[in-house]
A and B are shown apart, each in its own frame.
Chain A
Amino acid sequence: MRNTRKVKIQKVKMQKLKSKCKSFFNTFNFLLVFLTFTFLLLTSKPLLAVSMESSRFRIESANTSSAAGNKSSDNYKLSDTIGQLAAGEFSSTGYVIKAGFQYLHSIIPFRFSISDINIALGTLTPNTSSTATTVLSVYFGGAGQYQVTAIEEGALKTLSGNSVPDTSCDGGAETCSESQAKTWSSSTAYGFGYNMSGNDVPADFISGTQYRPFPDRTAAESPVVIMSSSDVGKNRQSTMTFKANISPIQPAGSYQTIINFVATPSF
């Protein structure tokens, strides 16, 4: 009798244990699937494919080498290279055209990037400098020179027209201009300007305290070169630091401006 009871108790215990285990593994499996799914969902990157398209067709495929070479008909001759659209030399009656990397013998396409196009200077506090940075990168492989220029589309100002003037740095001997950086470290020197550091930047940016004001398009000023080089290179990087410092009498408001960056290769 006792043995039978013990066996029964053991069986019940085993069943309870099995049930607990089953419940645990069901929950565990669910969690595993759920977490894996969310992880994949959050970390997946968009699939990049080379696409060829016009207004009338779209072909998505990898690069093919079958397209390269010379083609001709009665009316035209065409030489092209794969992976370089519009490359080659094209001649026909009435015009001669030379274009692309086959002609320039370059393997690095011209590319320009800005790491952050919305430069938040935060809440501007009188006599306290607000700074923010963005990284400019250029890929350049053509023969010649590349340049990146910058100009502001008006001063840093509110919708009601109150504006922060462009900086003249610390003043006196340290008065900066659109083409000459000078020291700007005084907390009572007010304005808006920028500093550059990294590859291919103007030589007058000696240290992190050297600033220039942006040229102003509304004042009929010309864009200034902020990066320039004849080096063939990938990922030429520079950091632009924006700085604003306002006076205690500066009216409160959301001060905004647009900085226009233009990257062009040489000719």
Chain B
Amino acid sequence: MTNKQINFKFLNFKYLFVVFAYLVICLFGYLREANAQQVNLSITPPLLELVIKPGKSIMVAYRVENFGDPVILTAKLVNFEPKDNLGNIRLKDDFTGPVRFSLDNADLQLDQPFFLKTGDSQQLLLRIRLPEGAPAGDYYYTLLAETTPPNTTEGIGSARSRASIGSNILITVTDSGVVEVKPKIVLFSTIGGLAFVRDLRIYDSFDKIPLVFMVENKGKNMIKPEGQISLKGNFGEETKYDIIPKNILSQSQRLIEATPSSQLVTSHQQPVTLILSGFFIGLYRLSTQVTFGENSPTVFASTSFFAFPFKLIAGLVTVIVITILIIKKFSKNSDEDS
């Protein structure tokens, strides 16, 4: 073998080594990103409200999008019930009610798995059918898109995850189109402060004043409050806060939220309807007038609170007393010196 051939072979080996090293770096760099199996799903619409006659059927198009790794999904329906007065829900394991669900997709069925690759989406054509003679009332369901857990890893301890994303379906079945509206205000009161007199709380002028407004739906159908909360001062000034229309399900209570600027109240420790802030002095009256759609009864509630700058006055008195004491002490000292 000549020197030239040896040099050529050495050169080739060098290039091969560089290429190999580069590929290894690329491979490891790439693997680090793709190692964890990620689920990332979205569903639209997130909420469906339907008022329907028995014997009718409709089709609603849902879309499930996969922003994560390729995934096997199953579309299923379960009942839900309100869990608390904040709008949280509790899914039920069993399926009850007269409503019949199916998918109009030729290649998909409920409770049957389908594959969704990365970046892809699947339209679910949900058929909702009410049989003739279905009893009037409200029926609440959640459409779930549920992933299949990954395979087990032998030899180690592991917790595999099944992820589901849901969209709520609120169905009111009525033959005549008339729904039962039976609201009741169970609480309309400020909290905190001092309560020396019944229904009158006392606050410092600089305090933030939380208001809690709770409505109960005693009817068979869900209702949606509309209206305002009004704050009137003793000098005639008035501020109005719009109520956010949220569904109150049948036979349940819900905390109403109001907002002056579309900002939800979240900064307070406990969930409240509204937090009043500013400088208050004197007697204030809070009132509300709520309706629940056309031709529905209007419900009223009011409460009062008194505000006074106790802390400011206390601070001023303390400063004045200390100042007087200091002045007296200095004048006493100067008298003794002279």
Residues of chain A whose beta carbon lies under 8 Å from any beta carbon of chain B: 27, 31, 34-35, 38-39, 42-43, 46-48, 51-56, 84-87, 90, 94-101, 103-104, 106, 109-124, 130, 132, 134, 137, 139, 142-145, 147, 149, 152-153, 156, 164, 222-223, 225, 228-232, 242, 244, 254-267
Contacts of B144 in A (CB 8 A): 262
Which residue of A has the minimal Cβ distance to B18? A31
Contacts of A143 in B (CB 8 A): 244-246
Contacts of A90 in B (CB 8 A): 58
> A266 to B160, Cβ gap below 8 A?
no
| A181 and B39 alpha carbons, distance in the complex (Å) | 27
Shortest beta-carbon distance from A264 to chain B in Å:
4
Shortest beta-carbon distance from A176 to chain B in Å:
18
| A103 and B271 alpha carbons, distance in the complex (Å) | 25
Shortest beta-carbon distance from B104 to chain A in Å:
8
> B247 to A267, Cβ gap below 8 A?
yes
Question: Residues 41-64 of chain B: 1 if any A CB is under 8 Å from the residue's CB, otherwise 0?
Answer: 111111111111101101011110
B288 touches A (CB below 8 Å):
no
Having A94-B55, A118-B37, A149-B91, one finds 10 other A-B pairs with CB under 8 Å, namely A42-B27, A100-B45, A111-B40, A134-B161, A143-B246, A164-B157, A231-B264, A258-B161, A260-B162, A262-B144
> B43 to A110, Cβ gap below 8 A?
yes
> A259 to B120, Cβ gap below 8 A?
no
Report the number of A-B residue pairs with Cβ-Cβ less than 8 Å: 275
Contact with B160, one of A87, A232, A258 (Cβ below 8 angstroms): A258
Stretch binding the partner chain, chosen from B148-156, B208-216, B276-284, B311-319: B148-156
> B47 to A259, Cβ gap below 8 A?
no
> B19 to A113, Cβ gap below 8 A?
no
Contact with B168, one of A120, A244, A264 (Cβ below 8 angstroms): A264
> A117 to B161, Cβ gap below 8 A?
yes
> B161 to A230, Cβ gap below 8 A?
no
Contact with A97, one of B42, B60, B105 (Cβ below 8 angstroms): B60
Question: Residues 228-256 of chain B: 1 if any A CB is under 8 Å from the residue's CB, otherwise 0?
Answer: 00000000000000001111010000000
Contacts of B249 in A (CB 8 A): 267
Shortest beta-carbon distance from B240 to chain A in Å:
19
Contacts of A139 in B (CB 8 A): 42
Known: A99-B47, A101-B44, A104-B46. A257 touches B38 (CB 8 A): no
User: By CB atoms of chain B within 10 A, which of A48, A103, A111 has the most?
Assistant: A111
Which residue of B has the minimal Cβ distance to A28? B15
Shortest beta-carbon distance from A24 to chain B in Å:
9
Shortest beta-carbon distance from B208 to chain A in Å:
18
> B87 to A257, Cβ gap below 8 A?
no
Contacts of A52 in B (CB 8 A): 123
Contacts of B86 in A (CB 8 A): 145, 230
Residues of chain B whose beta carbon lies under 8 Å from any beta carbon of chain A: 11, 15, 18-19, 22-23, 26-27, 29-30, 36-53, 55-56, 58, 60-63, 67-68, 80, 82, 86-91, 104-108, 118-123, 125, 140, 142, 144, 147, 149-150, 152-168, 170, 244-247, 249, 257, 264, 266, 271
> A55 to B160, Cβ gap below 8 A?
no
| A255 and B25 alpha carbons, distance in the complex (Å) | 34
> A46 to B118, Cβ gap below 8 A?
yes
| A139 and B47 alpha carbons, distance in the complex (Å) | 15
Contacts of B22 in A (CB 8 A): 35, 38
> B36 to A258, Cβ gap below 8 A?
no
Contact with B166, one of A47, A223, A262 (Cβ below 8 angstroms): A262
| A153 and B271 alpha carbons, distance in the complex (Å) | 32
> B121 to A51, Cβ gap below 8 A?
yes
Contacts of A244 in B (CB 8 A): 157
> B154 to A254, Cβ gap below 8 A?
yes
> A264 to B159, Cβ gap below 8 A?
no
Which residue of B has the minimal Cβ distance to A35? B22
> B105 to A156, Cβ gap below 8 A?
no
| A223 and B121 alpha carbons, distance in the complex (Å) | 28
> A242 to B91, Cβ gap below 8 A?
no
Shortest beta-carbon distance from A243 to chain B in Å:
10
| A153 and B160 alpha carbons, distance in the complex (Å) | 10
> B56 to A95, Cβ gap below 8 A?
yes
Known: A85-B123, A145-B86. A256 touches B158 (CB 8 A): yes
| A137 and B163 alpha carbons, distance in the complex (Å) | 12
Known: A54-B123, A113-B39. A242 touches B60 (CB 8 A): no
> A142 to B46, Cβ gap below 8 A?
yes
Known: A97-B60, A110-B44, A111-B41. A121 touches B19 (CB 8 A): no
Known: A97-B60, A228-B88. A113 touches B38 (CB 8 A): yes
Contacts of A42 in B (CB 8 A): 26-27, 29-30
> A99 to B36, Cβ gap below 8 A?
no
Shortest beta-carbon distance from A12 to chain B in Å:
14
Contacts of A258 in B (CB 8 A): 149, 159-162
> A86 to B27, Cβ gap below 8 A?
no
> A144 to B164, Cβ gap below 8 A?
no
